[in-house]
Amino acid sequence: MENLPGQERPTILVVDDTPENITILGELLIPFYRVRTANSGERALRAVHSLPRPDLVLLDVMMPEMDGFTVFTRLREDERTRDIPVIFVTAMDSTEAEERGLVLGAVDYITKPIRPSIVLARVHTQLEVKQARDWLKNQNAFLEAEVTRRLGENQLIQDVSIHALARLAETRDPETGNHLRRTQEYVRALARQLQPHPRFSAFLNERTIAELAKSAPLHDIGKVGIPDHILLKPGPLSPEEWVVMRTHAAIGAEAIAQAERDAEKPVAFLALAKEIARCHHEKWDGKGYPDGLAGDAIPISARLMALADVFDALINKRVYKAPMPSTQARDIIVGEKGRHFDPDMVDAFLAVFDEFVAIAEHHRDGETQ
């Protein structure tokens, strides 16, 4: 009988309390396999954990102190040994005993006195099955790792592309610095705080929170369509200029909508990005723009972004204003509860205010992340 191709000689553990039986099986198997032996259940359980680990166990059923069925059960209870195939070898020639062994999970059942050709054939068959199973397991592990690697690459490309687009808008408004990173983290923190809330729990699952954070940097992508003399004006805008400035919300939403149309299949984060771009200047009381939405008619994504965006604008320098302390910004947001902002979101903001401050400090302007 030939060894399995492309493999070192497989290791077989023979477990039997009778020395003569161990000798018979050993002499039969040694020409083809590496053979290890154990003369009790306890020794067998120790042997399976020492090198070389067995590829197959020939296990006697009738042994004192710990019978083969008990040994087998212990092997299956241990994650390290549960996949080692076991062939029961016994003088018990009864259908009930054979059925019990197979029900427990043994791969085969051999009765004594053994017939050499039958033993070798069954051992060879079970080792081939194990080799095939191990090969498939390794292939599956490789494929899973490859899928994970490629998904990671695609995710990285997607994230880089998002930030490249967002930076395109930011180049038109250079004083915003790390605004994109800060608002992204504010949105994530606020969403996590609101996750258990009954008004938001159905929407704010882990996947949606991740997509919200990914979408957030595109909130002002529409600013690429605003003329420099308005976008970079160092003082207050005139009413006419405000009309133009406010179009950035619709411009951004339309650009993302076009990207959705160009995609071969729906992209979840683009749908959120479109909501955020269009609606992050809407107000809870209906006095925002561009659509004058109010209350729950404003998408949750945009309500989160609105609070994050305003907080960051208040605490950082802009061409038209000086920065203010975070506590002052907090008080302004609290004052807009039920007017500009969803009341429950303001409560959540207060609960994570220290986290907002930490995010602002970690990603402050002038720092590279």
Residue 368 vs residue 365, higher pLDDT: 365
- What's the rounded mean pLDDT across residues 284-297? 97
Number of Cβ atoms within 10 Å of the Cβ of 161: 10
Q: Which residues pair with residue 88 across a beta bridge?
A: 59, 109
- Residue 366 pLDDT > 90, yes or no? no
CA distance 256 to 273: 7
- What's the rounded mean pLDDT across residues 139-161? 71
- Give the tens place of pLDDT for each residue, 257-266: 988 888 777 7
- Give the tens place of pLDDT for each residue, 172-195: 665 555 888 899 999 999 999 999
Q: Determine which of 29-38, 137-146, 207-216 has the lowest per-residue pLDDT on average.
A: 137-146
Q: Strand 86-90 relative to strand 34-38: parallel, antiparallel, unpaired? A: unpaired
Residue 48 · residue 81 · CB < 8 Å: yes
- Residue 1 pLDDT > 50, yes or no? no
65 pLDDT band, cuts 50/70/90, is confident
Q: Locate the DSSP E strands across the chain.
A: 11-15, 34-38, 56-60, 86-90, 108-111
Q: What pLDDT sits at residue 2?
A: 47
Number of Cβ atoms within 10 Å of the Cβ of 284: 24
Q: How far is CA 136 from the centre of its chain?
A: 24
- Average pLDDT in the chain: 87
CA distances in angstroms from 322 to 68, 111, 234, listed in the order given? 81, 90, 11
- What's the rounded mean pLDDT across residues 160-172? 66
Q: How far is CA 90 from the centre of its chain?
A: 48
- What's the rounded mean pLDDT across residues 141-164? 70
Domains of the chain: 11-142 (3.40.50.2300), 171-362 (1.10.3210.10)
Q: What pLDDT sits at residue 66?
A: 92
Q: What pLDDT sits at residue 48?
A: 94
* Token digits of residue 344: 């429950």
CA distance 332 to 310: 10
Q: What pLDDT sits at residue 175?
A: 52
DSSP reduced 3-state for 316: coil
- What's the rounded mean pLDDT across residues 277-286? 97
Q: What pLDDT sits at residue 155?
A: 65
Q: What pTM does this model have?
A: 0.60
Q: What pLDDT sits at residue 141?
A: 78
- Residue 33 pLDDT > 60, yes or no? yes
- Give the tens place of pLDDT for each residue, 329-365: 999 999 999 999 999 999 999 999 999 999 999 988 7
- Residue 243 pLDDT > 70, yes or no? yes
Q: Determine which of 169-178, 222-231, 237-246, 272-281 has the lowest per-residue pLDDT on average.
A: 169-178
Residue 150 vs residue 41, higher pLDDT: 41
161 pLDDT band, cuts 50/70/90, is low
Q: How far is CA 208 from the centre of its chain?
A: 13
Q: What pLDDT sits at residue 87?
A: 93
The residue behind tokens 């930076």 is 167
Residue 85 · residue 102 · CB < 8 Å: no
How far is the first Cα of the chain from the last one, in angstroms, to the nearest whole number? 64
